[in-house]
Amino acid sequence: MSDKSIIRVAILDDDDEFREILSMILNNSEGYKCVATYQDSDEAIKEIEQDLPDILLLDIEMPHKSGIESLKEIKLAFPTVEVMMLTIYSDSEKIFQSLRAGAVGYLLKKSPTEKLLEAIREAYEGGAPFSGEVARKVLQYFQTPLTQANSSVLSDREKQVLDALIDGHSTKAISEKLFVSTHTIRFHLHNIYNKLHVNSRAEAVAKAIKNKIV
């Protein structure tokens, strides 16, 4: 069992210097610990189970296998590990592909240290952190408005869950807020994703904001 008072972070990036600097930042920040660094996805797949990170920071552009391909493999093997992209790329296609593959957030490497630490904590607590530039592009990506039929099929309870999701609440926090079990919240989330035609929290939040559903 990992110490839940400390956020356990792993880094997957082929840049040796960047891994070393980021690891040092995490280990010198209260409430964070870098438990592992990996230079490629093969190493990560072999080691993640014993390292038990809460959050994995993942670059996109790497030799042999892209970060997005690595993300798909890691989420398949370790679905409970939350993955946040940390990269220099901010083009919409890479952002969207990352979210579709299961990333819970997308931050640019140029982000200030304080912002990065806040984003890691937000992802750990069930949120969907983005750099400001990335958040705007996520919203712009969903150019096609929802039809009235699609938005109206959400039940009142589903709209309450979606509203809490937009506020950044975790599944557990939403269940406590609405006085229902986490299993019930997951059931509502499944229905919301299906009705909005999305595959992740980040997509649901972006589409809801773009189309003013709640």
Q: Which domain holds residue 14?
A: 7-140
Do both 18 and 108 map to the same domain? yes
Do both 62 and 154 map to the same domain? no
Q: What is the pLDDT of residue 109?
A: 92
Average pLDDT, the chain: 86
Q: What is the pLDDT of residue 87?
A: 92
Q: What is the pLDDT of residue 135?
A: 80
Measure the CA–CA gap between 36 and 22, rounded to whole angstroms.
Answer: 11
Measure the CA–CA gap between 89 and 50, rounded to whole angstroms.
Answer: 30
What are residue 144's phi and psi, to 5 degrees?
-85, 115
The dihedral sign for the CA sequence 170, 134, 209, 118: positive
Helices (H) and strands (E) in the chain, counts: 11, 5
Q: Is the pLDDT of residue 4 over 80?
A: no
Measure the CA–CA gap between 92 and 98, rounded to whole angstroms.
Answer: 10
2: in domain: no
1: in domain: no
Q: What is the pLDDT of residue 166?
A: 82
Instruction: Give 121-131 pLDDT, tens digit per residue.
Output: 999 988 889 88
Q: Indicate the residue among 140, 166, 189 that finishes a domain.
A: 140
Instruction: Give 63-121 pLDDT, tens digit per residue.
Output: 778 888 899 899 888 988 999 999 998 887 788 888 888 899 999 999 999 999 999 99
Do both 64 and 160 map to the same domain? no
Do both 48 and 125 map to the same domain? yes
Do both 12 and 25 map to the same domain? yes
Query: Residue 179 sits in a domain of what CATH number?
Result: 1.10.10.10
| Pairing mode, strands 82-87 and 105-108 | parallel
Do both 121 and 70 map to the same domain? yes
Least confident of 58-62, 64-68, 134-138, 149-153: 149-153
Mean pLDDT within 1-27: 87
Do both 151 and 206 map to the same domain? yes
pTM (whole model) above 0.75: no
Three-state DSSP class for 106?
Answer: strand
Do both 66 and 123 map to the same domain? yes
Do both 95 and 121 map to the same domain? yes
For the CA atoms of 40, 46, 51, 52, the dihedral, rounded to the nearest 10 degrees, stands at 100
Query: Residue 120 sits in a domain of what CATH number?
Result: 3.40.50.2300
Do both 39 and 67 map to the same domain? yes
Do both 40 and 97 map to the same domain? yes
Do both 135 and 46 map to the same domain? yes
Instruction: Give 17-71 pLDDT, tens digit per residue.
Output: 999 999 999 999 999 999 999 999 889 999 999 998 999 999 998 877 888 889 9
For a pLDDT cut of 70, what percent of the chain falls above it?
91
Our count of domains for the chain comes to 2
